[in-house]
Amino acid sequence: MAQPTEPGTEEWPCPGFAVHPSLPAGLLEVSLDWCEEGRYTHHCPNRQRVIDYTCACSETSYELLGVGGRYQFRRIRRSNLKVVAYAGPWQRVRAVELWRLLLKGEAR
């Protein structure tokens, strides 16, 4: 896991309390199909629950969401224009497996 950044060294200082996804070490094991917010049909903003998340200190962060018995990922890119995208939904076992790969840098 990456270490918290020194104050003022990055645009989004790291508070140091969440996991940092690893950078891809080579070929990706899984390529996730991301769909931007607004075009995502399985997105249910009133019924989603954040199960796990990555640190928001980098430009891209991820959340594992529980939505009505199914699971999906939310990717948030903080650039000049904030872009939110979703992947999934999956059953719990598959979502946990993909989340583990995402954190290891083997899925994007």
Render pLDDT for 31-90 as a digit per residue (tens, 0 to 9): 889 988 776 555 555 678 999 999 888 889 999 999 888 999 999 998 878 889 999 999
Place of tokens 């891809």: 24
The answer to the question of residue 19 being in a domain is no
Domain count, the chain: 1
The answer to the question of residue 4 being in a domain is no
Rounded to 5°, the CA angle 2-8-13 comes to: 40
The answer to the question of residue 17 being in a domain is no
The answer to the question of residue 2 being in a domain is no
The answer to the question of residue 44 being in a domain is yes
DSSP state at residue 68: T
DSSP state at residue 19: B
User: What range defines the domain where residue 89 resides?
Assistant: 36-104
Render pLDDT for 19-40 as a digit per residue (tens, 0 to 9): 888 777 666 678 889 988 776 5
